[in-house]
Structure 1
């Protein structure tokens, strides 16, 4: 059974780190923090596996190397809560508790600009020679040194901005806030953004947003215990076509009998932890749970959500239209505290043509654990939970979710605020995972085979 191997800790933030995200086209990893900075880390991947190989690396295989690339001291006045890359990897958005969204791009410093202007070359941003070429030995940038600068600041939210994200084609940017709103911005040339929708139908703080991986469908999750699903209605404007409310009770966490000792040790509470839990009296929630996190499956047919009660819920689309409704089909116990972050990736050990392997889902939260779940379609007999039926090419199948790797105290005694898989257009780096914690640290991990 696979294991989650720690590759190392990176030069961290001075205060809690809130978000981590891999660049989709370049060897860069971004993080953000209460210290109001954004950190960029560059990395080098080991030699790729032979073509057609689907085996996981072993713990003794060559490891990726990471190093601090840039520290961007932002102009945000408060915590930078979220960062997100555009699909082309050239733009980075930041959402802050100061209620603004920053848009960052690489520009040539003014000193170099003045030299070029003297030669009659006008303009601010000019990609350097070879900037479009992939090179695992650096971050893909050559030529003149460029700096990350805030080219646009988007204003409109009345309170803390909690999450930002670009649509799959990069044409739209969304943001959400404690002011109960979700904004959609249209990306235009010359770093210009036009607000095309403001949705105010959540009744409480909106914790996160997540774009569908292939379509202009936007999910948002809130303190009001609802997931809203919205799309650009051809006959109208941006419309919320479903307000999903979690209802299923959780199934107990089932650890497969073939699990490794490390997985069992990470997921099973110790005698001391059991005793502490028995002494700790926690009153039941009087309200429905806050939904903290969302993640789409790579295929786009499923949506995962995590909330206050530590469970993971899976929602399935019932139909093929953009506004087809989603149905809650599974709820499994996962963490002993809130699930703050979810991230879903294609499986690094299964061919991309597989129709039954739905990838790996990473979850993390207030109990300090990171858990890796294998999600797949199979027969009811192999599922540890009460089966939830779905139809796949006329054959009855059920969605299965089971833990395959886990670590406890991933950031020592701190909460794990975010996890993010490396998901790139070129499929390189599959199986790499980054995490951010309340201790300000940023760590990198990878899935390896159990030797």
Structure 2
């Protein structure tokens, strides 16, 4: 490992004890729960859920797929739930606990996506004297478990199979509100599914497995679709900037070297509003900016590719739109009315957005960049890939951007360099093995100085090791 960066930073990335047990087989990705200290790792035909409190196995999802599980995503809470245990009310001095359902979706090489559920507290929804279950046990229990008693097992139920893709499902993602699920496949398509059950995460004795319907099949890519990602909706201007379409924005990355941006139009149809071209190889994935920008503009998009580069894309926002926001006619108004105006219905699909490549991160990787993670807390970016290197970057938001000429010279790729710098690199982070995934993750282990607030990196590789890393600047 080497710490870098001019005269301002001294950065260290050091390994923490790996999650146990080792999986001893290729693992594809590890995805942290947004609020609970749980980490779901996809490998072989199963998913292992680790506790972030103990860095040990908590539970496993098995038996649902005929081939390897390639992707996994946590289902956002429905009905405003937090994903933890709660109390429904009082009953003769005894508090009645409402059990909550924890949901996961898996994407497999068997061309299906599977819905899984874990209901905390065991069966029955009985009255209990003391608060327990998912929230208390996961956050503060010694074993990091979801159960609340010695007699309870830690098993996931396979609730539902989503079928339709012709080849393996490579990626999947829930929209921020959980209403939509996007899946992508080797069959060159992106499917959008909608939750039409209207159910909640609260379970009071009934079985609510949800009901999902296909609302769109997007087939404009010319190659395998490797990944999908929804723009976060909690950021200022993330929902209101574009008045031609609905609030949800989806991006997809493909073997055809492009990224496509999708939105739902006023007719309820999902349309491609932009094609991002600039990579010279397969675009392995993408991630939206999770932190509000100082200038209040629309979130940026980061893409990474087999060409060894990481690029940042920015929506070109027109002055007319900004004026609409300023006078109050855009923000909070009907998202379709102001944008369409007098445009005939037959012309609406021709409306397009312009996205510019505004930065190329300094070239570090000698092989494919398989994964990038952009911290919503600090804005730091971590990348990894086929060369087994972990790289950490920071953006200097106060410095003026350098032009394309400087970018060409230093990065070896066309496009602007931007204001990004390398903070540190770790070679051979998983020995001779490729690293398939990297993610920022909150720390809950005993070694954390600020449990639940401090961040660490977690890498997942072909060696079957899920390894956490401490980052200090």
What TM-score do the two structures reach when normalised by structure 1?
A: 0.72
1:412 to 404, 419, 431: 431
Whether the 8 Å contact between 1:422 and 1:429 is mirrored in structure 2 is no
State the shift of 1:200 in Å. Answer: 0.5
- SS of residue in 1 equivalent to 2:432: coil
2:359 aligned residue: 330
Q: How does 1:235-246 map to 2 (within 5 A)?
A: 235-246=267-278
Task: Please report how far the alpha carbon of residue 233 of structure 1 lies from its aligned counterpart in structure 2 after TM superposition.
Answer: 1.3
CA distance in 2, matches of 1:92, 1:317: 32
Query: Please, which of 32, 38, 42 is the counterpart of residue 22 of structure 1?
Result: 32
Q: 1:152 aligns to what SS in structure 2?
A: strand
1:15 is displaced (CA, Å) by 1.6
1:226 correspondence with 2:234: no
Deviates more, 1:319-328 or 1:145-154: 319-328
CA displacement at 1:164 relative to structure 2: 0.9
User: Which aligned pairs between 1:284-303 and structure 2 lie closer than 5 A?
Assistant: 288-298=280-290, 299=292, 301-303=299-301
**Number of residue-to-residue matches in the alignment:** 357
1:131 and 2:160 correspond? no
Which structure has more RCO (C-alpha within 8 Å, separation ≥ 6)?
1
Give 1:221 deviation, angstroms.
0.5
Query: 1:404, CA displacement in angstroms?
Result: 1.0
- In the aligned structure 1, how far is the partner of 2:451 from the partner of 2:315? 26
* Residues 1:436 and 2:428 are matched in the alignment: no
Is 1:371 the counterpart of 2:391? The answer is: yes
1:51-92 deviation digits (Å, cap 9, x = unpaired): xxxxxxxxxxxxxx4111112223211111111112335211
State the Cα distance separating 1:330 from its structure 2 match: 1.8
Structure 2's unaligned 5+ residue stretches are 1-9, 78-82, 84-101, 200-207, 234-238, 240-247, 293-297, 322-334, 336-351, 409-416, 444-449
Superposed displacement of residue 135, structure 1? 5.7
Is it true that 1:2 corresponds to 2:11 in the alignment? yes
| Displacement after TM superposition at 1:362 (Å) | 1.1
Q: What CA distance in whole angstroms lies between the structure 2 residues aligned with 1:427 and 1:312? A: 31
Given the superposition, is the C-alpha separation of residues 238 and 306 from structure 1 closer, same or farther in structure 2, using an over 3 Å criterion? same
Shift of 1:448: 1.6
Aligned to 2:86: none
Q: Deviations over 1:305-327 (max 9, x none)?
A: 11111111110122287974321
Which of 41, 46, 56 aligns to 1:37? It is 46
Q: Is the 8 A contact 2:380 2:393 kept in 1?
A: yes
Match of 2:106 in 1: 94
Counterpart CA distance in 2 for 1:313 and 1:93 is: 29
1:176-187 pair list within 5 angstroms: 176-187=184-195
Unaligned runs of 5+ in 1: 45-64, 122-127, 248-287, 349-358, 389-397
Contact 2:304–2:371 (8 Å) recurs in 1: yes
SS of 2:430's partner is coil
1:346: how far off? 2.8
Partner of 1:154: 162
Please report how far the alpha carbon of residue 293 of structure 1 lies from its aligned counterpart in structure 2 after TM superposition: 1.6
1:203 aligned to which of 222, 240, 257: 222
Q: How does 1:264-275 map to 2 (within 5 A)?
A: none
In 1, Cα distance between the equivalents of 2:401 and 2:284? Answer: 32
C-alpha contact 1:27 1:140 (8 A) present in aligned 2: no
Shift of 1:236: 4.0
Alpha-carbon offset, residue 158 of structure 1: 0.3
Within a 5 Å distance, the mapping from 1:352-431 to structure 2 comes to: 359-380=379-400, 386=406, 399-422=418-441, 428-431=452-455
TM, length-normalised to structure 2: 0.69
Over the aligned positions, Cα root-mean-square deviation in angstroms equals: 3.0
C-alpha distance in 2, partners of 1:132/1:442? Answer: 24
Cα displacement (A) at 1:381:
7.6
SS at match of 1:422: strand
| Conserved? CA contact 1:108–1:147, under 8 Å | no
1:206–1:431 Cα change, 3 Å: same
**CA separation of 1:232/1:129 partners in 2, compared to 1, >3 Å: closer, same or farther?**
farther
